[in-house]
Amino acid sequence: MGAQWKAKHREAAANAKGKLFTKLTKEIMIAARNGADPDMNPRLRLAVEQAKKASMTRETLERAIKKGSGQLDGAINYEKVTYEGFAPHQVPVIVECLTDNVNRTISSMRVLFRKGQLGSSGAVSWDFDYVGLIEASASKSDADPELAAIEAGAQDFEVDENLVLFITDTTDLDLVCKALPEQGFTVESAKLGYRPKNPVSLSGEAQEDVENFLAAIDNDDDVQEVYTSLS
């Protein structure tokens, strides 16, 4: 029984890593459209850093860049599509996808949103701010997140256990990422995304309903990011 459980655990871990690599590869290919040099392409540099943190091999990384920048034949043309709606209990949700088949993706979203409500563009995005989101960990024992936010040019910050979420203006994401190491923080992830203006708190079965709904959406192969007002 133990050996069987371990095998299932390893399979689940491998599947999770495979899905992460798929997401990272898509992001690299999209970013590389604006140039194959990470030093000259902030979005690509951030994507490459994320891939390295996830232990993506150099060969896989370089191949994704070359495909995205058109240096290799047979590149897949991914399109970004965003869906808005509500999870169970009317919790706002925004789903970002990168897909090579929009018809397939919208069909999947319609099925996944059956337990909630799929809305039109703008249905819930008014209740979110579109900002830069930087997760960072302290690399120095005396690192002060408030001082770091001020000095690095972040708009706000939130402390969550061992990580600090720095919120920036969309145009300042790259600058803040570069400035944080000087303030004693190591950037773990950085992206442009949605931050809820009015977080929703639930408990018990209601909380579980929403979490299961969000997990099912996040498990879809075309889904890159899921944002929700659930706190």
Give the domain CATH number at 167: 3.30.70.980
Residues 89, 37: Cα–Cα separation, whole Å: 45
Q: Rounded to 5 degrees, what angle do the CA atoms 30, 173, 70 make?
A: 20
Residues 110 and 147 in one domain: no
- 163 in a structural domain: yes
Q: Tell me phi and psi for residue 66, to 5 degrees.
A: -65, -40
Residues 55, 24: Cα–Cα separation, whole Å: 11
Residues 115, 156: Cα–Cα separation, whole Å: 34
Residues 105 and 136 in one domain: no
Residues 42 and 56 in one domain: yes
> Which residues 6+ apart lie within 8 Å of 167 measured at CB?
131, 132, 133, 134, 154, 155, 156, 157, 158, 195
- 116 in a structural domain: yes
Residues 177 and 139 in one domain: yes
Residues 100 and 214 in one domain: yes
Name beta bridge partners: 117: 86
Q: How large is the angle between the packed helices 2-31 and 42-53, nearest 10 degrees?
A: 170
Extract the tokens encoding 57: 């091999």
What pTM was estimated for this model as a whole? Answer: 0.83
Q: Which amino acid is located at 86 in the chain?
A: F
Residues 121 and 212 in one domain: yes
Q: By residue range, what is the domain housing residue 86?
A: 79-125+198-228
Residues 105 and 211 in one domain: yes
Total domains in the fold of the chain: 3
Tens-of-pLDDT digits for all 231 residues of the chain?
Answer: 333 433 444 444 455 667 888 889 999 998 898 899 998 988 899 899 889 988 899 999 999 999 888 888 776 788 899 999 999 999 999 999 999 999 999 999 999 999 999 999 999 999 999 999 999 999 988 899 999 999 999 999 999 888 999 999 999 999 999 999 999 999 988 899 999 999 999 999 999 999 999 999 999 999 999 999 998
Residues 125, 194: Cα–Cα separation, whole Å: 8
- 150 in a structural domain: yes
- 73 in a structural domain: no
- 165 in a structural domain: yes
